[in-house]
Each structure stands twice: as C-alpha cells, then as structure tokens.
Structure 1
Amino acid sequence: MSSPAQQLPPGWTAEWDQNAQRWLFIETATGRTQWEPPFPDPEGMSPGLNPAPSASPPPQSTHHAKRRQYAAGQTQAYYGADAMVAPPGPAYGAVPAQPAQPSQLFTPGLAAEGQFAQQQVPPQPGAQPPYYGAAPQEPEYINAPGFGQQPAYGQAPVAGLADQFSQMNMGQKGLRLFTTNLLTAPPEPLELHRPPPDIILPPNSSLSNSPFANADTSYQRCTLNAIPTSNSLLSKSKIPLGLVITPYRTLKEGDEPVPLVTDTVIARCRRCRTYINPYVQFIDGGNRWRCCMCSMSNEVPQLFDWDQARNQPGDRWARAELNHGVVEFVAPTEYMVRPPQPAVYIFLIDVSHNAIQSGMVATATRTILENLDRIPNEDSRTKVGFIVFDVSLHFFSLPAGATDSSMLVVSDIDDVFLPKPTDLLVNLTESRPAIEALLGRLNDMFQENHIIGSALGPALQAAFKMMSHIGGKIVVLSSSLPSHGAGAVKNREDPKVLGTSKESGLLQPASPFYKTFAIECSRAQVAVDMFLFSAAYQDVATLACLPHYTSGQSYFYPAFNASRTEDAVKFAHEFGEVLAMPIMLEAVMRVRASKNLRMSSFHGNFFVRSTDLLAMPTVPQDLSYAIEIQIEDNITAPFVVLQTAVLHTTCYGERRIRVITSAIPTTNSLSDVFASADQVAIATLLANKAVERSITHKLEDARDALFNKMVEILQAYKASMTAAGAGASAQLAISENLKMLAVLTLGLLKNVGIRQSAQIPPDLRAYAQCLLTTLPSQVLMPYIYPTFYSLHNMPPECGTVGEQGVIMPQPLPLTSERLERHGLFLIEDGQTIFLWVGRDAVPQLIMDVFNLPSYEVLRGGKTTLPLLENAFSQRVNAVIQKTREMRRGVYYPHLYVVKEDGEPPLRLWALSCLIQDRADVLPSYQQFISQLRDKVNGSSY
C-alpha cells in the first residue's frame, strides 16, 4: 500500500486509520484532521489514497474553524466505523454535499444489507434541537450524517465522495460543550425544565426510525448520555454513573400509552436473556437476530412475522418491540410460578383514643366507603379485609350476601391467631353490603374508646396470616407509637441529640422486628403502605422500614386533625388516589446492560433478592428507583444498551412484562462526557446516596459527601476543560448543561432530610428522607429546588387556560430579594404551597383574593382560598389548582397563608424554601459558590 507522504505539502502528515481503513491527514501546526488529502490528486483516485477531493484545499472559513476536531480513533469510537465508510461501489452514485434530510433516511431492515432507500419520517412533535444549547445556524443532522440518499433516476452523480465527508464534520454533529462561569451566571429556574442533553447514536444503531425507539426520560434516564469507554475516563470526570427508573409512571392527558404486545411471542437472547428491542441486528436473511448486549446470534421465533389477530402474515417492522423503547408483553404461562392472584387489600385501622379524637378513623372509613368503586376490581376478584386495633385486635366477619358484620376480638397479642377460618378476607363484590355497613358505623363503634396504646406489630402479624397464601397490600392507618406486643418501641426522641453526631441513630430502625417482618412479607408477595398521623413522636424511621423493604410507600400527616377541613381534604384526596391506583403484583425487576457494565448498588423501596434481582410485592405508580453502574472493563462498542424488565401481575389478573430500553453512545472524549451529563438524574442519584450515607454513617458525613462530590466535579472540569488547568482561577467553570447542579446540591444540603439543624424533629426528617429516595425526578426537583412565582404582577394571560392548559407565571430565582412589600407571591415544593402576602399589600388585592377588607384582619396559617367573583381571584385559584395537579403522584399540597410580619415559625418555614438566601448556619448561594471556588482552587488561590 503506497503512502501519500511524499505527495503532501509542507506542514501535513498522513496516518493510516486501521479502523476506518483510510488515510487520515493531520496538519502538524494545528492538529486539525481531515479525511481528504490537502492537495489535488492528479490521478483522481490513487491506490491507497482516499476518494479524490475537489481541486483545491478545503476552504478555511470562520464557520468551519469553530467546528470541533476529533482524532480518528476518537471519532471511530463515538460514531462507529460505519460513519467513516462510504457506501460500496459506484452503483449507488455519489452523494450531494449536504446534511441528510428527514425524508432520506435508511429503511429499517435494508440498512443491514447495505442498501439505502428513501424513507418518509414523520416529524416528531415538540422535537428538540439536535444538541443541548445548539446554535441556530448549525444544520440538524438526523441519524445518518451526510449520506444514505440516492440521486433521482437519470441524475448525474456528484463527483467525489470527499465533499460528503467534508460536510460531515463529526465534531459539528456531536454534543457541543459550552462552558459557563457559576460566579457570574446565577441559577435560572427554567433550566430545570429543559430536556437533558441529546442522545446522539451512531447511524443505523436502531432498526427503526421511530422517535420512540429510545425510552422516554420519564421512564428511565441515565446520568450520562454518552458513556465513557473506560472506568479511568469515568473516574477522571468524577460524575457518578447511574440510572434513574420510574417503570410505572402515571399517564397524564396527551401522554402516549405504553404499547401492549398481546400475541405472547417474546423473543429473548438465549445467553443473556435480553428482550428483543430496536437495537438488535437481523442477520442470515432476517431468520436470526444478533443481541445488542452480548452479540449472541438467536433464532427469530416462527410466529414473529405472523399476525395472530388476523391469522395472516404480519409486518415485522410494525411490531411494537422494534419501534418502542418502552413496551409491555402479555406473558405466557412459563412466566408464572402460579396462576395470577387477585388483588388483596387488608386495612389495619388504629382505633385508640388519639385516632378517634383526631377524626382519622371517621375520615379514613368515609374515604374507603366513597372509593369502593375505584378500587381495581374489573374482574370482580378483588378481596378485602379489615382489622382494627388498639391494645387488642378486632376482626370482622363479612359473610357473602349478608348486610351486616360481626366483630371478633382477640386480646392475646403475644400469640396471634385468626378467630375464624373464613369470612375475614372476603370478595369485595360479593360482600359489598356488609362492607358498606361496617364502614358506615366503624367510627361510632369506638367513639367512646379511651384506650391509649397500639398493638401495631400483632395487627401486622394477623394481617399477614390472613393474606400470606395470596399476597397483596396491607394498608396501615396508625395514630400512635407501637407500644404493645411484637414491634413495640419506646419514645427515643431526645432534643439534646438533635444536631449532633448521634442524630443519625434516630433515623435507623429502633426494632429489628420491622425489617425481619418486611422480608417475610416480601417473600410472601405482601406489600405494606403506611399512613401515619400522630401529633406526638411516632418513630417514622422505624415504621417506614416496612414500606422500604416491601416496595410500599409512607405518608405522614403530623398533628392531623379532621376538624380542620384542610387536613381532612388532603388525607382523603391522597388516600383515595392510593386506593384507586392500579397496582402491579408479584413483581420482580432486573436491569441488564451491555458487556462490561454492571449494576453495582440499588436505591429505593424493594428487597434485593439475589445480586441483581429486585423483589417488589407491588409496584406503585410514580415510585422511583436509582441504580449505580460500574464500568468493569474497556467498552469497545459504539453504543451500549440498558434494559429494565419488570415481570408482574396486573391487578386484573394478567401476567405481563414491562421492558424499558435505552441506547446510549460511548465516547473516549472527556468533553463529551461533560457535555452529555444530565444534571437532574445526577441530583436524583446524589439524593439517594446522601440519604443512605446519613443512615449508615452520620448526617454530617452525608453533607460532606455531597459538597465534596460537587468540588470533585468542578475540579475535574477545571483541570481538563479550561485553560486554568491545575492553577488558581478567578472563575468557577462548569459545562452549560450542569450549571444548575451546584444549586441543586445546595437545595439537597438545605432539605429537611439532610439539613444541619438542631430544630428538626426526627419524624419530619425521616419522612423527608422517604421522599428523597422515592420521588420521581419530575417531583423531586421542586422538592429540593422549590418554585417561586410573583402573582400580583403576573402577565394577564397567566392563570387563564391556553392550549397547554392553565398558563403559569415565569418562575423566579429562589431569593427573598425578589419579595416586594406590596406583593403576593407563591412558593411551593410539591408538598406544601405558601402564599406570601407583603405587609403593604393594597386593600383591593386583599379583598380580591381573600374577601377581607385589609391586611390587618388577614390571618396566617393553613387555609382554603375562596373562589370569588373577580378575575384575579379566579386566576390565582387556577395557578394553585394547576400547581396541585401538574405533577405525577398522589400528593395534594396544603396551602398556607404567610404574612410578612406574621408568626415567626411559619415565616421561617416559607423562607427556608428560598434556598439561595442565607439561613441560620447554612450559606447563601453566593457564599456556597465562593466556598466551592476556594475548595476547587485549593491553597493556590
């Protein structure tokens, strides 16, 4: 093979790229690389040289000078060899020197054979720019850069493929890295609503050109949208690699439903058990497929191309699993250990003196009664049972067809037994009259109960005995500390411990009973949901153990009092939504990944049954899980695939598998790692890690770990991506797509679950930690970075209905500098809404919103806003209503009116949401940024 070195002009060298099988030309002065020779080739196509370029060296315009240049190996690793190789032979004609248009993409199935065809691609609604922060004048490259189209019949081909490659410029298509200085770029709340950096896969990675081939980020998102090819590169970036999964998110209006494959033809890899997806390859004339995880060759099932509904040949390319990153299969019998079980709900209701007096029992029974029709029961198989408890257990026999129930009392709580073998767990449909009668009079039966104490542990054991042969959900409603029988705990709240290194002890379970019982439940497919109401210490940290290991959820209503309408409405709404929620039973979840990637640790509500199998007796909607990923060896593939599979039984008795597939390109460029980082996913993973560390170590360790992780990322970026390198710098540089990570970290440090304070009751802190580890990213972000609106001067269209529903005001930065004395402001974190009223608010505003004559007569505190006959009142109410509805989950935030000169505790609580301000010992955002800069610069600054 002849070398072109002797023909090169001065200042150029040539290097043979083994992967691309082509000469790469390098300008020695600048390091700039290009595929075509920098000189006219007299023979047009010299042996051993690349296709001939145009007759003159490539123009050096300023536009081209801005493009990022990649070394050959780097380009190859990121985009794959196919990106470098021209279509074979002149039969395809040459390619116009312009980016590929959407109508000129590869046809699925033909690409594998090297054939190109024109293919219409429907425009994706709401499509985002091709990369994060893209400059508008750059062309959009879609799937195949620069080639893949044929000239129309009779057209002369454009001479030379080199033009095509000069147009291709890999750096231009890739993620763009923009640096920002945190010292001069204050947080912009709208940044958190941007989509994460684009996933830019090599051409032909997917069989399908469907916009849904990659899982939507609301189901699964990775902390990096370009995976480093080696662990050393990942370590150099200091960004944690992890996956945030919400497998069963609720569908809002306009959301695409998950496609359902009903023919029970499920193609899986014989070796690694990966489910067929849009990123496999068909080989051997389409009779076999190659796994995208382990490269194993597998046979295509015989019925894969058969439409069983019409009993005729089907279109393989229309199958949902080849076009969608999220798909659900109806599972055949081999996926069942036993026939699908009915949904079972057992309600454990505390009827001790506190529970009756607070109105909890009356509200709970009324809510169950009103929602009986909403409990999933389409197949009329759902079973329910009721146990009420104080220091004794009260069972109810509910015979089918009867209109009344009989109560059976068991006072022996040391050796729990069921007083009757039948009629305690009954069919909801058949025993409906008896159930309705019981719920109607349950509160009155215990109205005079003066017993103080709770035998929660024995009640749980009794419920377990009733349902362990089936599985299902135990719903606990408790108003007091468990004090009798198994699982009894003592009040360990000690104000002297708060704020000290011993505080983390209060966040650990006080009794081993709850963990061991939870593991028993998990084995028997029983989940536990906790609704906790105590005005006094209730040891949320201990009781939340049950939902944690059984994949349930905890809900906390401190100082609940149903005589306050707001308390009753909030609980009734949330409890009703939980009852109506379709639940997935007997579930197991496993995450598979491409070669050399391993799931290393798991965060969330489940029990890890084997090294990577997560047991979930039920999978609630909108519950999030975080998984850390380790790179075990160098990755050579141009992209990796991450696939989550959840095998479960629907509450309607159908066995299904939900499969969520994400494909992510690999890179050996540190700049791509930073440019692809997803700050929301990183913050979600850090929240989970911080909570775990606060329990296993100390709260202070968790705070230090968060701060140090932020410092590490900033140091890594400064050392490798800025001119300052290891020296001191007056700036604090980070990539544009990570500019909110510092303020999110500050939000975590100031969150009740982790915050440094001697004033936070352990129950509130433990519940906040439950939220930090279970909320999906969409709900977690406002929880750690609240939303702040100015209402008194919002534009006239805000609060009215537009095309996308109620139009919301622009969010403000979280600082009290934005508060005005005459203003009305809304601050909310997804759990609580504050309506801040300035002391100089004009009487007309007070009248329009609160129907009161002046600020002086307005009272602060928990309230329900009146809906008045004026436009401003209706707009404010619409904004509050939209705030309560716009996020996924069952939560119904309380509304508090906060007067500027009102009660100090309420004012401080509302102001604590403005996390960019200084509060107590916690720094302001500017102070925090300065601390980070000093730490990043070390002693040299």
Structure 2
Amino acid sequence: MEDPSQQLPPGWIAQWDETHQRHLFIDQNTGQSQWEPPALPGAGAPAPGPAAGGHTKRRQYAAGQTQAYYGESGVVHPPAPGDMAGNAVGGSSFFTPAGGDQPPAQPSGFYNPTAMGQGPGVFSAGGFVAPAQPSAYQQQQPQVGALTDQFSQMGLQPGYGQKQFALHTVNLVGAFLDPRELVGPPPEIRLPPGACVSQEVTANADYTYQRCTMNAIPTTNSLLGKAKLPFGLILTPHRSLKEGDAAVQVVTDQVIARCRRCRTYINPYVTFIDGGARWKCCMCNVSNEVPQMFDWDQATNTPGDRWKRAELNHGVVDFVAPTEYMVRPPQAPVYVFLLDVSQHGVASGMLATATRTILESLDRLPNTDNRTKVAIIGFDTALHFFCVPSGSTESTLLVVSDLDDVFLPKPTDLLINLTEARAGLETLLGRLSDMFVDTHSVGSALGPALQAGFKLISSLGGKLIVCTSTLPTLGTGALKAREDPKVFGTSKESSLLQAADAFYKTFAIECSRSQVSVDMFLFSAQYQDVATLSCLPHYTAGNTFFYPAFNAARSEDAIKFAHEFGEILASPICLEAVIRVRASRGLRMSSFHGNFFVRSTDLLSLPAVPLDQSYAIEVQIEENITSPFVVFQTAVLHTTSDGERRIRVVTSAYPTTSNISEVYASADQVAIATLLANKAVERSISSKLEDARDALSNKMVDILTTYKNTMTSSGGGASAALSIADNMKFLPLLTLGLLKHVGIRQSTQIPSDLRAYAQALLTTLPSQLLIPYLHPTFYGLHNMPPECGTIGEQGVIMPPPLPLTSERLERHGLYLIEDGQTMFLWVGRDAVPQLIMDVFELPAYEQLRTGKATLPLLENVFSQRVNAVINKTREMRRGPYWPHLYIVKEDGEAAMRLWALSMLVQDRGAENLPSYPQFLTSLKERVNGSSYT
C-alpha cells in the first residue's frame, strides 16, 4: 500500500485505522483529525482519494474553530438556535472582559430614539449584530488575534478529536453576567479520534433535540457523586422547524439496520469490521451484518455509497417503518371537541371564540389523505351530541340527560369525516354558539362528557380537546372547591397541588391504553382545580392551557386564546407513539419527567407527541465505563399526521472522563436547570413545597462546596470568593429564578390554580422557552441602538438585554420585561410627552391606562420599531404561546407594579425573598460553614 505520509504537509501524519479500514490523518500540532488528506502548502484542495469501501469524504474540521464566533470588532456572534449540532464549536460560550468588569451604565438622558445603547452589540433571533458604531465597552475588548491567543492558552484551540476540556473558574461575587450567554450553545462535545464514521457536523444530534447535563460523562458513579452534578437528558424529539432549520432526513428503505441484541439503530458511532461486511454496535459491541441496500441505491437500481447515507451522517433521522412495526394500519387524525355550553361558557365568550377558531382552522387541520374525523359534544347539566350526515348542510342535536350511565345516542354520524361532511360542519360551527345564547344552565358534567368522547373514539384513538369554563360539578369526576387561603405558605399547601379525585388519573391511564390524548383549555374566573384537571394531559401526553378570568369582550383575551388554540389544531402531531431511550453499557435510565405514561421500566407511552414538548430523564451509572465515549439514542415510534408509521431516532455521543475538572468544564447549565425544575415540581407534589425549595438550595451548596474543595486553592478553608466554572456561572441565578418562580416560591398569596399551571409549564416547556420563564428578558427601549427594531440579515434586530435588576430602571425610560408567557411594558413616571405620543398616541403620561393592551402601530419610526421588537419577542421562540402585553406605570396600580418587578429576579422580592447578592452571600456562608463540618 502506498504510504500517504509522503504527500502530507509538515506536522501531519497518516495512521491506518483498522476499525474503519482506512487512513486517519492527524495534525500533531493541533490534534485535528480527518479522514481526507490535507492540502499541501501552496496547493489547492486535494482530489478526494478513495478509501476502503469506496468511501470519499468531502468535509473536514478546520483548526481554530472558535474564531468563527468573532467578528472584526471582537464581538461574539453565536449561531442561530438550532443551526449548530451538539458537537459543534462553542466550548467557552462567550467572552467577557477580564476580571468580570461590568460595562459602564447607560448615560441618563431624556427620550432620544436614536441614542446608542450600551453593550457589545445587539442581537436578532439568530445571533448578535454589531452596532454601526462601537460603544466604549466594545472598544475595551481585545482584537481577534489577542482573543485567539487567549483561547489557545485556555486549551480551546484544538479542533475535533481532542477531548480535553479547559476549566475556567470565576468568582460569582461581583461577576458580571451577560444575559446573552444563556442563548448560546452548550459546551463543545469533543469526541476522541475515530469515534464517528462521519465528519459531518450533523453526526451528533442538535442540542435542541437532545442535550445532556454534562458533555463529558464520568467513568464511575463515585466520580459522578463526587461532582454533585445531576446526570440526565433533556429531550424535545418532536421539535418545530423555524426558518433556516434543516429538515429531518428521512430513510425510506424497507429494511432497518438494528443491533440484533440491544436493538440499537445504526448510527454514525458504529464501527465497520470484516472489510465493511459487518458493523459493531456502539452500545453492546455485538457485530451485525450490513444490509445489502447499504451499498445499493434502490431508487436508481445502481451501486450506492454507504458513506452518504443519512443514518451515518445525521444524529436525527426518520425511518419509514415497515409493516412489522405496526399493530394496526396507521391511525388517522381524530379530533373530538368537548365544549362547555353552560352559562359561564357562553357569557365569557369562550364558546363563540372556540367555535369560530375551529371553523377558521378546518383547512389547517392535518388531513392530507382525507381520513381526518371530527366530532363535537357540548356539555352543561346534560350532554349535547351533534349529528352531521355526510353531504348534508343540516345537523341534528341529540340531548342525553342520564349522566350515571353514559351512552352514545346514535352509532353513526357523530364522528364524521372532515372532507365528506365539511359543509354541514361549517354550518354547525357557524351557529353553535347562538344555539345556547339564552341558556341558564350553570352546571358542568365534564366527567360524563369525557366518558362519552372516549366511547366514541376508544377503538380508533385520537384527541379529546376540552374547553371548559367552570369546576366540574355533576356526574363522575365532580369536584368541590377545596382551595383554602389559610394553607397557602404552609406545609399543607402541597395537598392543593395533588389530584382531588382518582377518576382523572384512572381515566387518563385508560385513555393512554387506547391511544387517546387529552388537551385541556381552562377558562374559569373562579377556582377550577387545575391541579386535578391537568392530570388528564399529564398522563396522556397532552397540553394544558389556562386563561384565568377570560373575557372575549377584551380583544387581547380573544386573540391569545384563538392563537394558541389555532396553533394546537394546526400543528402536525405524532400519534400512537412510544419512546425508548437506549444508552451504552453501564448507563441506565432511572427516572422520567414529563407528560406521558410509563408503560414499563423504560418504555414511555404517548398517545400523541405535541410539537415542542420537552421530557427530562435522569440517568444512573450502574457500572464503571471503560469506553472512550458513550452514546445515547432516543427512538420515537409514531404515526405522522399524514398517516405514515415512522421511527424518529435521535443519537448523541459524549466523551467519557475520569477527571472531575473536565466534568465541571463540560457541564450544561441550561440542561441542569431544566432537570432541576422537573425534579423540584415532582418533589413539591409528592412531598412539600418547602422540601422542593430546600432540595434546590442544598444542591447548589453541594455543587459549590465540592467545586471549592476540589478545584480551588482554598480547599477546605474559608474563602472570600464563591467559585464555580465559567460555563456554570448562571446556574445559581437560574436556581434563584426557580426559587422565586410562581410554581415553587414561598408565598401566602399565590392561588393554587396559578401555581399548578406554572408547574405544568415547568415540566413541559423546552429549554428554549423554560430558561426565559426562569430568567426573564429585560430590554431598555427608549435608548436602544438605532438599528434595533429594524430588519437585519437574520430578521428583526433585538435590543441588548439588561441584567434583571431595577437599578437599570430610569424614571424617563420605557422598558420591556418578558418571560415567554407574559410581557410588561414599563413606563417611567418622568417619560417625556413625545415618547408617550410616539408609542401610545396619547398627549401625556397621566392619560395612560394600565393593564392588558395592544399597542397601536403609528406612523412614526419609533412606534414601528417598538412594535417590531414586541412582535418578534412573540414569534422568536418555539411553541404555540401568545403572551399578553401589560402596560405598567411606575406610579400606577401597586399589584401590577409588583407583578412586573417580580420578574427582576436579581432584586429582593416581596415576602422576604432574597436578592441575588443576598442569595450568593447565603450560599457562600453555607459553603464556608460546611468546610468545617
């Protein structure tokens, strides 16, 4: 065999890889490795040389990838969310000035819509954009060469193939935290050379699909216990695609390559042996035969290139499932709408808004193959069935008053084909709310309505979509108002967060077995027992939405509900799904959090997989790991909305380490916060809210104590510093945000419905939505840079976010505070009349009204920019949510002001909640105190 080393640049060597039967080219200076031979100095790109098995690679990793984050001014430019895979660049996240110095505060001044803001740049939904003119803070930053040298010294320069993680310690006390770091990618995944058969950046699943709390896995359980970091996976397997996101690759072969022992799907981290005739599983090391179609293109009936196959180059793929993966033919989408037609439902406008939204969404319902079925059942003190014959424009109303023995009054024409009965359905929806306009019924037979809907579709599977505006009072599942403000803030409060009636959990599990999912839309102006009713979506993989004091006469309420309801109806769903997570030997999935039913020890049953719903899984190390890397693979067997049975396979690989410093340097603070939020909610329901809060604080103390003792020179002695890894410096603040969150915080004033709904969100939101829910975003609009609110290359350019403290509030200012669910537009008491006129079209601050509002779009540039920022805030994240906008005056209604200020989590909160400096002080005292015990 010809020696390729004779044709390599200086410093490069060629090493024969027995596993993959080809040469691996390694740069001894940087540690970079690649399958393709590098170009000689002064020469063009080399012609691709044939590798064993006809493999030709056309892509390689460049050295010094961290430079891609920096523009000419040294400003960080992270990728758009979803643009980078988990093993892409991003080890150190972002650069902050040496010593954690805080940039100078914004100069005070009156309203000037063209004034420049502070900070190193502004950002759009896709990343940072430098201002046209650099600020003083920018001018302090080093240039590209200095940054490259600094990163090289920190050990971040080597490219793919070098496993070392550089650990950078920061002192949390006095450290400047740039909120923009939270939108960046997690620490880089650095796999050893030869771990992957592909050099594609997509070989590891994008972290928005699957991320781990640590990107370097401890080799022993004792090392994991020593680090005190939680070990788990955060999954969002059915993630929506934003503009610019790559579509999931689809594999259509009839034979799916899987390990014959552990049933792992073939992926980029298997190895080929016996000249490529067999492949060795990356999970259990068993060898398997390579299917013939791997080297044959069935579409063109010609020899194919296995190295181009999607499953060997992408960490997220969809396999089209053959018949052996089907118990029955693929399920058609089925929607049964259970609508509250009582006086409360009619008077609030809920019924009219719901029927109008359904009518307007008929064309958006998944119905590719014209198999979609629909039914409508109304309920108050009786059940109202609507019979719509195919081809007719008329409908018949059938009323069943017997709530003890629920039955279907007619076997046919209740569940109708959407296409065949479209005309009659449209007529019914157009007049349904008018049919009950004079009703005086005030009861709610929700339980019997659920039973009727289940009987209608139990043999088919589908979705029960419930819109109810009052507490269930009749028949099975009737509830009583059990809320007692006297127990708020006491050890008994957690009982209000548990289901009051076993019917809802039992019924939900029965639904899950029959592939029926339940979505709940709750509208009551009074107590509705969200904790009990949310059991239905929790065990059937559905969604819970809560609209307290809903009144459709307020356009903001009607728009929010119509938007979120319409998005749920229009979104493609995965039906009759099961999820199983496999991992390398020595790892076991130990606990599961999210909306599903655990059918067996490791099999999750989901009648539907909604878009952008997240799941958290805790992992245990059962035996010592000897391999240089481990693999996690999530498989979601499901039926698409188009009636096709598929398996979505999400594969991620992580290096292993026996070095605790690498464990800390690779920690993903966003994934850790997501897992801690799920664990805290479970603890608050199974035990007490106080126990959940204590567990969060204790976890932070454990992490900080261990880090101090093992990673700093202070060791076991007292220290004035509070040290943590740079990549985890937001973890204490995120923990404080969770401790102050409505779902967890100590309070005697939070209604149990609000707390239960907040907990439902904490356990279902994907990380992209959960992090702002814990750490809201705070913008200054009155002095934002002139390009903010205008269209850039990556969409609307957003202002630079501010730290979450009221110290940044100026009396003449205009600010936006938002957490993904609610938005506040804060207006300072000294706001000049021109600002009030430009934004609100009012002559003076005194005439401004507080509360829910819709900003007018006026014929001036500043109004258009402010509206663009608000609209982009509503659109930039994944999910169906449409946050309300509230106008808050600095000297306005006290309750509104306190609500808005509660989002500034770095400040001291009401009811003696600590500020961020106070929280750090308490942590430091406990860390130093525990050093002596």
Smaller-chain TM-score bracket: 0.7 to 0.9
Task: Find the counterpart in structure 2 of residue 142 from structure 1.
Answer: 159
Give deviations 1:659-693, integer Å, cap 9, x for gaps.
Answer: 00000000000000000000000000000000000
1:731 corresponds to which of 721, 729, 732:
721
Letter in 2 for 1:935: R
Compute the displacement of 1:303 (Å): 1.9
User: Does residue 1:463 correspond to 2:402, yes or no?
Assistant: no
Letter in 2 for 1:626: A
Compute the displacement of 1:187 (Å): 2.7
Compute the displacement of 1:265 (Å): 2.6
Are residues 424 and 120 of structure 1, via their aligned partners in 2, closer, same or farther at CA, if it must alter by over 3 Å?
closer
1:826 corresponds to which of 795, 816, 820:
816
Counterpart-to-counterpart distance in 2, 1:186 and 1:451? 59
2:503 corresponds to which of 513, 526, 530:
513
Letter in 1 for 2:922: Q
Counterpart-to-counterpart distance in 2, 1:542 and 1:130? 43
Q: What secondary structure sits across from 1:399 in the alignment?
A: coil
Q: What secondary structure sits across from 1:935 in the alignment?
A: helix
Counterpart-to-counterpart distance in 2, 1:458 and 1:95? 69
2:29 corresponds to which of 98, 107, 112:
98
Give deviations 1:634-660, integer Å, cap 9, x for gaps.
Answer: 000000000000000011110000000
User: Does residue 1:707 correspond to 2:638, yes or no?
Assistant: no
Q: What secondary structure sits across from 1:666 in the alignment?
A: strand
1:923 corresponds to which of 914, 919, 930:
914
Task: Find the counterpart in structure 2 of residue 344 from structure 1.
Answer: 334
Compute the displacement of 1:131 (Å): 2.7
Task: Find the counterpart in structure 2 of residue 132 from structure 1.
Answer: 92
Give deviations 1:529-574, integer Å, cap 9, x for gaps.
Answer: 0000000000000000000000001000000000000000000011
Counterpart-to-counterpart distance in 1, 2:465 and 2:732? 39
Letter in 2 for 1:99: T
Alignment of 1:597-676 (within 5 A): 597-676=587-666
User: Does residue 1:911 correspond to 2:928, yes or no?
Assistant: no
Give deviations 1:44-97, integer Å, cap 9, x for gaps.
Answer: xxxxxxxxxxxxxxxxxxxxxxxxxxxxxxxxxxxxxxx998989xx9999875
1:225 corresponds to which of 199, 215, 219:
215
Compute the displacement of 1:715 (Å): 0.5
Find the structure with the greater CA-based Rg.
1
Compute the displacement of 1:111 (Å): 12
Are residues 939 and 402 of structure 1, via their aligned partners in 2, closer, same or farther at CA, if it must alter by over 3 Å?
closer
Task: Find the counterpart in structure 1 of residue 45 from structure 2.
Answer: none
Counterpart-to-counterpart distance in 2, 1:629 and 1:84? 38
Task: Find the counterpart in structure 2 of residue 149 from structure 1.
Answer: none
Counterpart-to-counterpart distance in 1, 2:927 and 2:28? 46
Task: Find the counterpart in structure 2 of residue 427 from structure 1.
Answer: 417
Letter in 1 for 2:160: N
Are residues 567 and 96 of structure 1, via their aligned partners in 2, closer, same or farther at CA, if it must alter by over 3 Å?
closer
Task: Find the counterpart in structure 2 of residue 66 from structure 1.
Answer: none
Compute the displacement of 1:132 (Å): 1.7
Give deviations 1:124-155, integer Å, cap 9, x for gaps.
Answer: 9957646325962227433346xxxxxxxxxx
User: Does residue 1:450 correspond to 2:440, yes or no?
Assistant: yes
Letter in 1 for 2:748: A
Letter in 1 for 2:361: N
Letter in 1 for 2:886: Y
Counterpart-to-counterpart distance in 2, 1:111 and 1:837? 66
Q: What secondary structure sits across from 2:835 in the alignment?
A: helix
2:925 corresponds to which of 923, 927, 934:
934
Give yes or no for contact 2:373–2:418 (8 Å, CA) kept in 1.
yes
Counterpart-to-counterpart distance in 2, 1:584 and 1:236? 40
Task: Find the counterpart in structure 2 of residue 480 from structure 1.
Answer: 470
Give yes or no for contact 2:705–2:931 (8 Å, CA) kept in 1.
no
1:690 corresponds to which of 680, 688, 696:
680
Give yes or no for contact 2:55–2:307 (8 Å, CA) kept in 1.
no
Task: Find the counterpart in structure 2 of residue 37 from structure 1.
Answer: none
Q: What secondary structure sits across from 2:485 in the alignment?
A: coil
Letter in 1 for 2:501: S
1:276 corresponds to which of 266, 269, 280:
266
Task: Find the counterpart in structure 1 of residue 785 from structure 2.
Answer: 795
TM-score (norm 1): 0.86
Counterpart-to-counterpart distance in 2, 1:391 and 1:880? 43
Letter in 2 for 1:245: L
Give yes or no for contact 1:352–1:389 (8 Å, CA) kept in 2.
yes
Letter in 2 for 1:666: T
Give yes or no for contact 1:106–1:117 (8 Å, CA) kept in 2.
no
Are residues 801 and 130 of structure 1, via their aligned partners in 2, closer, same or farther at CA, if it must alter by over 3 Å?
closer
Task: Find the counterpart in structure 1 of residue 286 from structure 2.
Answer: 296
Counterpart-to-counterpart distance in 2, 1:828 and 1:727? 41
Counterpart-to-counterpart distance in 1, 2:529 and 2:50? 60
Task: Find the counterpart in structure 1 of residue 180 from structure 2.
Answer: 190
Counterpart-to-counterpart distance in 2, 1:248 and 1:726? 46
Compute the displacement of 1:520 (Å): 0.2
Counterpart-to-counterpart distance in 2, 1:241 and 1:684? 12
Gaps of at least 5 residues in structure 2 are 1-12, 39-47, 69-78, 96-146
Letter in 2 for 1:143: Y
Counterpart-to-counterpart distance in 2, 1:505 and 1:261? 48
Letter in 2 for 1:765: R
Give yes or no for contact 2:250–2:319 (8 Å, CA) kept in 1.
yes
Give deviations 1:446-486, integer Å, cap 9, x for gaps.
Answer: 00111111000000000000000000100000000010001
Give yes or no for contact 2:24–2:34 (8 Å, CA) kept in 1.
no
Letter in 2 for 1:357: A
Give yes or no for contact 1:105–1:144 (8 Å, CA) kept in 2.
no
Compute the displacement of 1:116 (Å): 11
Counterpart-to-counterpart distance in 2, 1:760 and 1:742? 24
Counterpart-to-counterpart distance in 1, 2:26 and 2:392? 80
Task: Find the counterpart in structure 2 of residue 259 from structure 1.
Answer: 249
Are residues 622 and 118 of structure 1, via their aligned partners in 2, closer, same or farther at CA, if it must alter by over 3 Å?
closer
Counterpart-to-counterpart distance in 1, 2:259 and 2:26? 38
Are residues 117 and 310 of structure 1, via their aligned partners in 2, closer, same or farther at CA, if it must alter by over 3 Å?
closer
Counterpart-to-counterpart distance in 2, 1:93 and 1:902? 68
Say how many residue pairs are matched: 830
Q: What secondary structure sits across from 2:648 in the alignment?
A: strand
Letter in 2 for 1:546: L
Are residues 546 and 144 of structure 1, via their aligned partners in 2, closer, same or farther at CA, if it must alter by over 3 Å?
closer
Q: What secondary structure sits across from 1:142 in the alignment?
A: coil
Give yes or no for contact 1:112–1:282 (8 Å, CA) kept in 2.
no
Give yes or no for contact 2:90–2:187 (8 Å, CA) kept in 1.
no
Compute the displacement of 1:190 (Å): 1.3
1:413 corresponds to which of 403, 410, 414:
403
Give yes or no for contact 1:87–1:114 (8 Å, CA) kept in 2.
no
RMSD: 2.3
Give yes or no for contact 1:106–1:119 (8 Å, CA) kept in 2.
no
Q: What secondary structure sits across from 1:136 in the alignment?
A: helix
Give yes or no for contact 2:716–2:931 (8 Å, CA) kept in 1.
no
Q: What secondary structure sits across from 2:633 in the alignment?
A: strand
Give yes or no for contact 2:25–2:36 (8 Å, CA) kept in 1.
no
Give yes or no for contact 2:161–2:190 (8 Å, CA) kept in 1.
no
Counterpart-to-counterpart distance in 2, 1:144 and 1:350? 60
Q: What secondary structure sits across from 1:212 in the alignment?
A: helix
Q: What secondary structure sits across from 2:201 in the alignment?
A: coil
Give yes or no for contact 2:677–2:738 (8 Å, CA) kept in 1.
yes
Task: Find the counterpart in structure 2 of residue 755 from structure 1.
Answer: 745
Counterpart-to-counterpart distance in 2, 1:834 and 1:284? 64
Counterpart-to-counterpart distance in 2, 1:87 and 1:605? 45
User: Does residue 1:360 correspond to 2:350, yes or no?
Assistant: yes
Give deviations 1:164-211, integer Å, cap 9, x for gaps.
Answer: xxxxxxxxx621100000012143211202211100000010000011
Are residues 709 and 356 of structure 1, via their aligned partners in 2, closer, same or farther at CA, if it must alter by over 3 Å?
same
Counterpart-to-counterpart distance in 1, 2:58 and 2:852? 59
Give yes or no for contact 1:106–1:116 (8 Å, CA) kept in 2.
no
Gaps of at least 5 residues in structure 1 are 1-82, 146-172
